[in-house]
Amino acid sequence: MAMASLFHKTSKTHFYFSLLNVTKRSFSSFSISFDSRTLTPPFQVRSVTTPTEAFVGFDEMVSGTQRKYFMLGGKGGVGKTSCAASLAVKFANNGHPTLVVSTDPAHSLSDSFDQDLTGGALVPVQGVDSPLYALEINPEKTREEFRATSQLHGGSGVKDLMGSLGLGILADQLGELKLGELLDTPPPGLDEAIAISKVMQFLESKDYSTFSRIVFDTAPTGHTLRLLSLPDFLDASIGKMMKLKKKIASATSALKSMFNKEEPQRDDASDKLEQLRERMANVRDLFRDSETTEFIIVTIPTVMAVNESSRLCASLKKETIPVRRLIVNQVLPPSTSECKFCVMRRKDQMRALDMIIKDPKLASLKIIQAPLVDVEIRGVAGLKFMGDMVWK
Ligand SMILES: Nc1ncnc2c1ncn2[C@@H]1O[C@H](COP(=O)(O)OP(=O)(O)OP(=O)(O)O)[C@@H](O)[C@H]1O
């Protein structure tokens, strides 16, 4: 059902989600009513004196068949998954074969789509016009499997497993470094490395070539920043490893040629490391390519969330990651009832919105408000509904 008709159903409208096959959530303490006299599509809260945009610029996001990546991130619980999943549904319904990937160790894509998307493989999402696949990368589980395989087979399965993750080259190189021990005390960023390796597979594998839109539901801020800076970190580490290997290789071949008169061997390992380095550089460049990639910050109108978003925005800009849009989710509409709680809460939210427009970093972004609705957004129909109100 079109949203406009939902709005015109009654003057004081509770969202009629049952028509949309959305799981109804009961608010025991209060339920928010949206008044169609004050709230007009697309859910613009008109009394808010912020320079928020009526349109997110979806036309620009959807145009072209060239592959584009959208990464949604922000503080925990602000609605990243709902926004990412609704964007993926909207892309698929606009003709793009789409892949939505969760790199958050605490996945909620399955809950959001109301379908079992677990298992670490591509799972088709039902109920959309073009192919939509979801992938939940579970780095912790993978690390556990990794350790178990390593113990079971005395390390023989490690290489296969790493190979299946796109990390085979690393396995070769790290073979002598006792991986089991490494996994007992994983270095910071290992989980993100596994996520990155999947991204590298997207870039290279034929299986993924059909997807023209890839949407990432990222982990809360700290993880995301590590994920984004990891290619640089690995690039530097690999650089050091390569130098070391080259030194060892040249010393070894010099010795060999002295004693055995053998021809110096070509160092395949170094070639592979060079390939890995290139892959990492590609990933790093991809993150920073404003033609193909965009990071969208999701926040809610609270002082804590706005402060964190401001820091995230600063870090992204420092890393030269393209960031242009800020979704302010769960905005309360003006209350027409006597509900003191709602009035106070909204006042508080207005203060946080004011902070956004006074924040030099955030104010430069396209700011889009999405209202707090009185039902839980779940399933493709609910996500379509959300997508139609956010992604205009
Ligand atoms: N605009 C909204 N109105 C009402 N409920 C919402 C809205 N946006 C999100 N929610 C609900 O808020 C909860 C958290 O949303 P979601 O899982 O998308 O957040 P998240 O930022 O991905 O969380 P996490 O950091 O835990 O992964 C869900 O129950 C979701 O349905």
Can you tell me which residue has the tokens 């999943």? 85
Q: Would you say the CB of residue 166 lies under 6 angstroms from ligand 1?
A: no
Q: Would you say the CB of residue 368 lies under 6 angstroms from ligand 1?
A: no
Q: What gap in Å lies between CA 345 and CA 237, rounded to an integer?
A: 49
Q: What gap in Å lies between CA 67 and CA 239, rounded to an integer?
A: 30
The phi and psi torsions of 351 (rounded to 5 degrees) equal -65, -40
Atom index in ligand 1 nearest the CA of residue 220 equals 25
Burial of residue 85 (CB within 10 Å: 0-12, 13-18, 19+) is buried
Residue 81 Cα to ligand 1 midpoint, Å, equals 7
Q: Would you say the CB of residue 78 lies under 6 angstroms from ligand 1?
A: yes
What is the phi-psi region of residue 298: left when phi exceeds 0, alpha when psi lies from -120 to 50, beta otherwise?
beta
Angle of helix 303-318 versus helix 340-358 axis, rounded to 10: 20
Nearest CA to ligand 1 atom 23: 77
Q: What gap in Å lies between CA 34 and CA 374, rounded to an integer?
A: 9
268 flagged as catalytic: no
Radius of gyration of the chain (CA): 24
**What is the pTM assigned to this prediction?**
0.72
Q: Would you say the CB of residue 161 lies under 6 angstroms from ligand 1?
A: no
Q: What gap in Å lies between CA 253 and CA 263, rounded to an integer?
A: 8
Residues 6+ apart with CB under 8 A from 83: 72, 296, 298, 327, 329, 370, 386, 390
Residue 104 Cα to ligand 1 midpoint, Å, equals 14
**Tens digit of pLDDT at every position of the chain (392 positions):** 333 333 333 333 333 333 333 333 332 222 333 333 333 333 333 333 344 455 678 999 999 999 999 999 899 899 999 999 999 999 999 999 999 988 777 778 999 999 998 877 889 999 999 999 998 876 666 556 545 544 544 444 445 555 555 555 555 555 444 444 545 555 555 555 666 666 666 667 777 788 999 998 887 766 666 666 666 666 666 666 666 666 666 666 665 665 555 555 555 555 655 666 676 677 778 778 999 999 999 999 999 999 999 999 998 898 888 999 999 999 998 877 888 999 999 999 999 999 999 999 899 999 999 999 988 999 999 999 999 999 98
Q: Is the ipTM of this complex over 0.95?
A: yes
Q: What angle do CA 370, 26, 43 make, to 5 degrees?
A: 20
Amino acid code (one letter) for 162? M
